[in-house]
């Protein structure tokens, strides 16, 4: 997804009648807007202490774009010891069936410059009839595995690695943290912002979804469409729902951020409870009055700055040498 100078935001469609062709057209138009300079007043300006570019990662059977954020030359920490490299933060943007890493430049560039760290944001395959959630989850894990297997080439210290995701990206990041434990990979941290961590038939059975189904946005129709694409018939939805993982012990310490005016706020709250019950160190922070995508909208969400600062502090401590 390349940046453009100007773009017009498309009208939100009727999710209940949207065809595959209409989804593609809407997604392309929406992502052009999210990657345009026109939206910077909402999504914020990148930190000048970071260099941002796109790279292609060769994965089994596919090449995948990633958006890479590095400390700028001459910036404090940019010349990390070549024997150890920078910490790695693997980021997954939100959106599910729309979205681009560009919408997260404000937060990711800040982390790259201020930790400092290499932040790799996965431009994962978006949900569609031919690409269910399992494909996006594989993208998150495969990029993490690729970068760590080529750590010297990327200039990272594999012993200082964290995952970070927002919304659907929070779900993908939570799945990656579980998969890392199963693969014997020790992550230092997982940061989950407004994570939608359940895609089973009960994902709508929470008070927060009832309260915020149609305000401040039309969340319920969108979530139903999201689930329809994420887990097509025949899919084991529990296997793609971190909330229902058999064992949540032994995972990387977690920071879970929950905006309270959010339909899936109870997903985050419940997941934090389950992590703690399993013995995984977990910090849950609620941001009263904040809306679902608050972290990627600093221009209109006043609590985005505090959330970004909390993530920075948490990761700085977790990724210290």
How would you write the pLDDT of the chain (321 residues) with one tens digit per residue? 555 556 799 999 999 999 999 999 999 999 999 999 999 999 999 999 999 999 999 999 999 999 999 999 987 666 555 557 999 999 999 999 999 999 999 999 999 999 999 999 999 999 999 999 999 999 999 999 999 999 999 999 999 999 999 999 999 999 999 999 999 999 999 999 999 999 999 999 999 999 999 999 999 999 999 999 999 999 999 999 999 999 999 999 999 999 999 999 999 999 999 999 999 999 999 999 999 999 999 999 999 999 999 999 999 999 998
CA distance 317 to 309: 12
CB-based contacts of 67: which residues, under 8 Å, 6+ apart?
52, 53, 54, 101, 102, 105, 108, 120, 121, 123
CA distance 38 to 304: 19
Q: What are the CA-CA distances from residue 79 to residues 139, 148, 215 (Å)?
A: 29, 19, 47
CB-based contacts of 209: which residues, under 8 Å, 6+ apart?
219, 220, 223, 263, 264, 266
**Phi, psi (deg, nearest 5) at residue 170:** -65, -40
CA distance 186 to 159: 7
CB-based contacts of 271: which residues, under 8 Å, 6+ apart?
174, 192, 195, 197, 242, 243, 256
CB-based contacts of 196: which residues, under 8 Å, 6+ apart?
167, 168, 170, 171, 203, 223, 226, 264, 267
Per-residue model confidence (pLDDT) at position 7: 79
Strands of 72-115, DSSP E: 86-92
Per-residue model confidence (pLDDT) at position 84: 72
Per-residue model confidence (pLDDT) at position 63: 97
**Phi, psi (deg, nearest 5) at residue 82:** -65, -20
């Amino acid at each position: 997804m390349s940046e453009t100078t100007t773009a017009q935001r498309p009208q939100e469609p009727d999710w209940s009648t949207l065809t595959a062709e209409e989804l593609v057209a809407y997604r392309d138009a929406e992502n052009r807007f999210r990657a345009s300079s026109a939206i910077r007043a909402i999504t914020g300006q990148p930190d000048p202490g970071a260099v941002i570019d796109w790279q292609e990662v060769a994965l089994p059977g596919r090449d995948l774009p990633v958006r890479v954020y590095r400390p700028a030359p001459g910036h404090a920490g940019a010349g990390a010891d070549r024997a150890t490299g920078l910490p790695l933060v693997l980021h997954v943007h939100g959106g599910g069936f729309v979205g681009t890493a560009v919408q997260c430049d404000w937060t990711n560039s800040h982390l790259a410059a201020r930790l400092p760290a290499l932040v790799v944001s996965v431009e994962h395959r978006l949900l569609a009839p031919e690409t269910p959630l399992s494909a996006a989850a594989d993208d998150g894990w495969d990029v993490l595995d690729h970068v760590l297997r080529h750590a010297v080439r990327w200039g990272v210290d594999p012993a200082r690695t964290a995952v970070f995701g927002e919304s659907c990206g929070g779900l993908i990041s939570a799945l990656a943290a579980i998969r890392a434990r199963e693969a014997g990979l020790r992550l230092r941290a997982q940061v989950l912002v407004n994570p939608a961590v359940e895609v089973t038939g009960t994902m709508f059975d929470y008070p927060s979804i009832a309260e915020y189904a149609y305000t401040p946005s039309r969340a319920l129709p969108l979530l139903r469409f999201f689930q329809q694409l994420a887990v097509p018939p025949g899919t084991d939805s529990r296997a793609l729902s971190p909330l229902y993982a058999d064992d949540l012990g032994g995972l990387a310490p977690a920071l879970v951020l929950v905006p309270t005016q959010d339909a899936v706020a109870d997903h985050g709250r419940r997941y934090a409870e389950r992590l703690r019950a399993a013995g995984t160190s977990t910090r849950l922070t609620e941001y009263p009055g904040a809306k679902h995508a608050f972290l990627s909208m600093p221009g209109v969400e006043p609590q985005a700055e505090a959330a970004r600062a909390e993530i920075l502090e948490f990761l700085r401590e977790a990724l210290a040498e």
